Chains A and B, each alone.
Chain A
């Protein structure tokens, strides 16, 4: 996930570190830079795909390096960092919020690493002041936390815990973390402030910042060790019923395959690259997710390239066949694997996670109820692949897929009445449709208690009867007056004629013969 390094560039960072052993004079800033250098080196070696940006702040903030994978640029900017005035965290956090939203929108989990010496300003603009005035702020001056995107907040304090606890800094920082939903951590230095302790503490921090996610992708007996990038974040479902976070399994098991057309652009929570990794016991420092390794390791890399890998086979076939593989991520949690093309030449195996639950996609039904085609009596895809069992049809049709009656707008009512009249003029040919429409109107009018309408339509039909041309079929007149009479009876509310389940049946006349029959 992308990282924003928020670097305190206030004057207090230039405070010298009291060192007995060391002759050289060091500033806290130097220690911070040393720690970050380590961080960047680690990233450059192990997580080439991660994006990082650098923001410096004092009373103002500045985006020094926009999100990049180029760690040299970051390092350079860090080395050239100048010193400014006082610490003003609130505006800087606003800045971070803007920077992230502009780049990644609101759905992308991001981590913010605040690097500071622990003196968070005095008076207006200080963190203490910001936190004291949290409540009762107008809508446009809200405190930037919690961020509008999922964010982890790490505080890298170039100070030791005792120092921070003497003032209320520690308390304020903890409050800050809570404001962000509690996701994050405060790192303080152990013992003396010196280069060595900075290194130690960066080491510890790295584990939390970039935990690995080694997994195994399985399809029956075929398997491959993979690195899932970015690392899937735990997911919370209904916080009331099920407050425990859900983690995906490290054993990703393929359930079966589905055509792309059948799965049809499903909604997903996140997307991840699935990169095959060589589990190489001899070369320990081959970092997972490493794509371009330093030169001395090239031979090992080449070796790995020549060993057949299941991921490559799977990717190739998914791409050629236009299919996805349904993969189980946990109990009642599924995802899909597919080939994602970045450009004409480059493509990759990608995994998308569905929302946890037994039925993430209504058009597939319950995933646990998806079985092998060999279980079905006859191949649901047809012998020549002309059919598909998907999508599943919902049991009840939606309002727009059926003929519902809505008379809220006058036009709806008029259309329905006109339809009856149109058919009335074409009696006896349209006897069936005429009665069908008539009964639909009758039912709706009864349900809405709209008796006045029944009377009105009855009168309309009577008038139609008088307007019949001489050439009209004699049956037309009979049917019209019969229908009008029945509607009038229904409009009295008399239970004998106004029963909801009843229908008006065509009148049986000598002319109608069998054609207009029941």
Chain B
């Protein structure tokens, strides 16, 4: 159905004229005497509804079904005149249904929220938003001429209103209006108005007339109308086992009829086997319903069914015992599979009833052959032969990255990113360094690293988080001192694998890689890195000894794990050479930079200034690449080792003018050139 079809707006006009106070002449026994009592008692006289009461309750029922099935995007204006039955003594002219019809047309002209929204979002193509509507008028007409008079009235009002609407922002001209006149007359009387199928009164207005007896006939009529107007279809669930009210240990089978969007029967319609699917006609051929059989539920909510549609339902007889039993059963969270009876006797599960948060849906399950049958297993494809994926760790990662509805509030919108974007940003942070297989990582196989690894991915760290991270690092230092074994993978290496101190070096490197990817996040992230760098520095002689043997290996190791591989690869040769230098520098400073072994120890004095120096140039441009940081660090270190180049000292923005003496000799010309060559 198009969004802005005639069903977008419906206005009910219920005639409030004196005649509607007439009884419908269908009596309702409200004094039902039970056998035990009432012997010899005279039951009270039955009551009967007025035409007005019938009309009102049937329009309410129409709305009830509608709101159940379409809680959104379908609007209904019920012009139920001020509550109360009409006064038979009143002057018929005063409360003519004409006023109601005029009011209905006016209300159809009013732009709805959805139309407004659609118009504003479409902008250039706003004219695609149509204004169509339907008026359902429940009245008692005097004759066919009277009906024609009502139609003319609506037609004229539309023309009038359209003229007015053309010049207004809050009004829209009506492009199409469907008038449904329902003529109601009491039981036992002959109708003065004849039924008439839909006809075009003008290009704007179509009209149809239904002549119905009040009471249950009217109810049936409106039930059919709501189905026609809103593309509904009916399904009868049969064979529902239910405990008897009186005898709790016996059960009988009941049927319940539900209404829902007709697309739930699409498969039947298209294949033309609507009748084969157990469709029956009830109420003397007025109504069609598809019968589906209840399958005693297997409770398994973790199964993901292949479902091609889900449609809200509304029970036709909402308060009947079978209906409320079924709906309560479903609302309690259970699902029921429904079986489509087939001639061949084979069983096909075609639908499922299930509730989601207090709403019941009819799910359509796919019952045809799938083009995806017999696919190759994932283990046969790329990466399928790798056996040590960190499945459990990724499971944990998924649990941490589960989603939750965030209430819409002006605050969250003001703060920029919508929640879904924040979720993506969190995924980005969490995966900056995330080795996929166990043999690729050491730190993620160590329980001791968990607190730090969990915290460092956070957007911001609290002082407490920082302490935890630092503690984790000290703990690792402790482990190293005690020479605890590390869960280093020996895959691919011959013999026993790397030596213990080599293992620790790999571990520290990996930890550094992890933390470095988050360093741009906040100052506290940086402090975690500082802590690691400070703690992992070794006594000079040990460091010297190790360095000789490990250079090659270190290079491979680092390059693999680094986030910006390419740049790293190119620059590595150089930086590796410089690294030795820088480490020596660090060791020299090391005397003052005491290894902190308690979180309470004060910050090393010379840490802060060094930090600032390093971050200077790139800080403003957002995240700093690993290479830049490293180069900066080395530059700073180098600068302390030699006398600064004279040109650099006198440079402005790192640019020094060459051949300055020529300028003095030759004047402005060359000066200009000099600038241009920069």
Q: Could you list which residues of chain A lie within 8 angstroms of chain B, going by C-beta atoms?
A: 1-2, 49, 51, 101, 103-108, 148, 219-222, 224, 229-230, 238-241, 253-261, 263-269, 271-273, 275-278, 291-292, 302, 304-318, 320-326, 328, 338, 342, 345-350, 352, 361-376, 380-381, 385, 389-394, 396-401, 404, 406-415, 417-418, 446-453, 455-457, 459-460, 463, 493, 498, 500
Q: Please name all residues of chain A whose beta carbon is closer than 8 Å to the beta carbon of B308 when the two chains form the complex.
A: 107, 267-269
Q: What residues of chain A lie closer than 8 Å to B319, measured between beta carbons?
A: 404, 406, 412, 415
Q: Which of A106, A266, A372 is in CB contact (< 8 Å) with B426? A: A372
Q: Which of B28, B363, B401, B418 contacts A410 (CB 8 A)?
A: B28
B 397-435 to A, binary, CB cutoff 8 A, 1 in contact else 0: 111111111111000000000111111101111111010
Residue of B whose beta carbon sits closest to that of A240: B2
Contact flag A104-B403 (CB < 8 Å), given A368-B418, A400-B315? no
- Chain B nearest CB from A325 CB (Å) reads 8
**A347 B377 Cβ-Cβ under 8 A:** yes
Q: On chain B, which size bracket covers the interface?
A: 35 or more
Task: Identify 11 new A-B residue pairs, CB closer than 8 A, beyond the known A312-B378, A312-B382, A312-B384.
Answer: A105-B366, A241-B118, A256-B403, A276-B383, A291-B376, A312-B383, A372-B401, A376-B404, A392-B357, A406-B64, A460-B44
In the bound assembly, the distance between CA atoms of A322 and B300 in angstroms comes to 12
* Chain A residues whose CB sits within 8 angstroms of the CB of B426 once the complex forms: 256, 372, 374
Contacts of B3 in A (CB 8 A): 238, 240-241
Q: Known: A240-B4, A256-B427, A391-B357. Contact between A500 and B68, CB under 8 A?
A: no
List 5 A-B residue pairs with CB atoms under 8 Å apart, sorted by A's residue number. A256-B426, A257-B398, A264-B301, A272-B372, A373-B402
Q: How near does chain B come to A21, taking the closest CB pair, in angstroms?
A: 43
Question: What does the 1/0 interface line of B41-63 toward A look like (CB < 8 Å)?
Answer: 00011011110110011101100
Q: Is the CB of A220 within 8 A of B314?
A: no
Q: In the bound complex, what is the Cα–Cα distance between A408 and B64 (angstroms)? A: 13
**Bound Cα distance from A59 to B327, whole angstroms:** 55
Interchain CA distance A394-B305 in the complex, whole Å? 23
Q: Within the assembled complex, what's the spacing in Å between the Cα atoms of A235 and B60?
A: 37
- How many whole Å from A361's CB to the nearest CB in chain B? 8
Q: Which of chain B's residues has its CB closest to A381's CB?
A: B402
Assess the A449–B85 pair: CB atoms within 8 A: yes
Task: Give chain B residues whose Cβ lies under 8 Å from the Cβ of A257.
Answer: 398-399, 401-403
The answer to whether B392 has its CB under 8 Å from any CB of chain A is yes
Contacting pair A240 B128 (CB below 8 A): yes
On whether the beta carbons of A348 and B378 are closer than 8 Å, the reply is yes
Contacts of B356 in A (CB 8 A): 264, 361-363, 391
Chain A contacts for B4, CB-based, 8 A: 240-241
Q: Is the CB of B56 within 8 A of A316?
A: no
Q: Is B304 an interface residue (CB 8 A)?
A: yes
Contact of A309 with B30 in the complex, beta carbons under 8 Å: no
Residue of B60, B360, B382, B432 touching A276 (CB-CB under 8 A): B382
B566 to chain A, nearest CB (A): 15
Q: Which of A238, A313, A318, A345 has the most CB of B within 10 A?
A: A313
Q: Are A346 and B267 in contact (CB under 8 A)?
A: no
Q: How far is the CB of A430 from chain B (nearest CB, A)?
A: 18
Q: What's the nearest-Cβ distance from chain B to residue A409, in Å?
A: 7
Q: Which residues of A contact B427 (CB under 8 A)?
A: 219-220, 254-256
Neighbouring A residues of B305 by C-beta, 8 Å: 265
**In the complex the two chains form, is A220's CB within 8 Å of B64's CB?**
no
Inter-chain contact A342/B53, CB cutoff 8 Å? no
Known A-B contacts A104-B368, A261-B302, A318-B398; the reply to A394 vs B310 at CB < 8 A is no
Which A residues are in CB contact (< 8 Å) with B48? 452
Q: Tell me if A320 and B382 are in contact (CB < 8 A).
A: no
**Bound Cα distance from A37 to B136, whole angstroms:** 62
Q: Which single residue of chain B is at the shortest CB-CB distance from A365?
A: B405
Say whether B669 faces chain A, with CB atoms less than 8 Å apart: no
B residues sitting closer than 8 Å to A (CB atoms) are 2-4, 28-32, 44-45, 47-50, 52-53, 56-58, 60-61, 64-65, 67-68, 71, 83-86, 118, 122, 128-130, 216, 219, 266-267, 270-271, 301-310, 312, 314-315, 317-320, 323-324, 327, 331, 335, 352, 354, 356-360, 363-364, 366-386, 389-392, 394-395, 397-408, 418-424, 426-432, 434, 436-437, 440, 458, 563
* Pick from B303, B357, B372: contact of A394, CB under 8 Å: B357
- Measured CB to CB, the closest approach of chain A to B68, in angstroms, equals 5
**Is B358 a contact partner of A326 (Cβ separation < 8 A)?**
no
Docked CA distance A338–B307 (Å): 14
Q: Which residue of B lies closest to A108 (CB)?
A: B371
A143 to B399, CA, bound (A): 54
Interchain CB contact under 8 A, B359 and A394: yes
Shortest Cβ distance from B21 into A: residue: A449
Is A321 a contact of B399 with CB atoms below 8 Å?
yes
CA distance A195 to B312 in the complex (A): 58
Interface centre among B360, B366, B420, B431 (most CB of A within 10 A): B420
Q: Nearest Cβ distance between residue B492 and chain A, in whole angstroms?
A: 12
Q: Residues of B contacting A221 with CB < 8 Å?
A: 428, 431-432, 434, 563
Please indicate the chain B residues that have their CB under 8 angstroms from the CB of A219 in the complex. 427, 431
Q: Which 4 residue pairs spanning A and B have beta carbons closest together?
A: A309-B383, A371-B419, A105-B368, A220-B431
| B residues less than 8 Å from A370 (CB atoms) | 403-406, 419-420, 423
Q: Are B371 and A230 in contact, CB atoms less than 8 angstroms apart?
A: yes
A312 to chain B minimum Cβ distance, whole angstroms, is 4
Known: A260-B304, A404-B64. A315 touches B267 (CB 8 A): no
Complex Cα distance A268/B304, Å?
11
Chain A residue numbers with a CB within 8 Å of B52 are 449
Q: B302, B318, B406, B458: which contacts A375 (Cβ < 8 A)?
A: B406
Q: Which residues of A contact B373 (CB under 8 A)?
A: 342
Q: Give A103 to B271 CA distance when docked, in angstroms.
A: 12
Contact of A400 among B267, B314, B434 (CB under 8 A): B314
Known contacts being A221-B428, A372-B426, A400-B360, is A456 close to B382, with CB within 8 Å? no
B304's nearest neighbour on chain A, judged by CB, is A260
A453→B397 CA distance, assembly (Å): 64
Inter-chain CA distance A413–B424, complex, in Å, is: 55
With both beta carbons as reference points, the residue of chain A lying nearest to B424 in the complex is identified as A255
A278 touching B406, Cβ below 8 Å: no
Question: By the criterion CB–CB under 8 Å, are A326 and B64 in contact?
Answer: no
Residues of A near B366 (CB, < 8 A) are 105, 107
Q: Which chain A residues border B331 with CB–CB below 8 Å?
A: 400-401
A324 vs B378: C-alpha distance when bound (angstroms): 17
Give Cα A255 to B323, complex, Å: 40
> Is there contact, CB below 8 Å, between A276 and B381?
yes
With A240-B2, A308-B437, A451-B85 in contact, do A255 and B420 touch (Cβ < 8 Å)? yes
A261, B301: Cβ atoms closer than 8 Å: yes
Cα-based distance from A110 to B404 in the complex (angstroms):
38
Q: Which residue of A lies closest to B440 (CB)?
A: A308
Output the nearest chain A residue to B436 by Cβ-Cβ distance: A308
Closest B residue, CB atoms, query A449:
B85
Shortest distance in angstroms between A435's beta carbon and chain B's nearest beta carbon? 19
Check if A313 sits within 8 Å of B389, measured CB to CB. Answer: yes
**Are A308 and B383 in touch, CB under 8 angstroms?**
yes
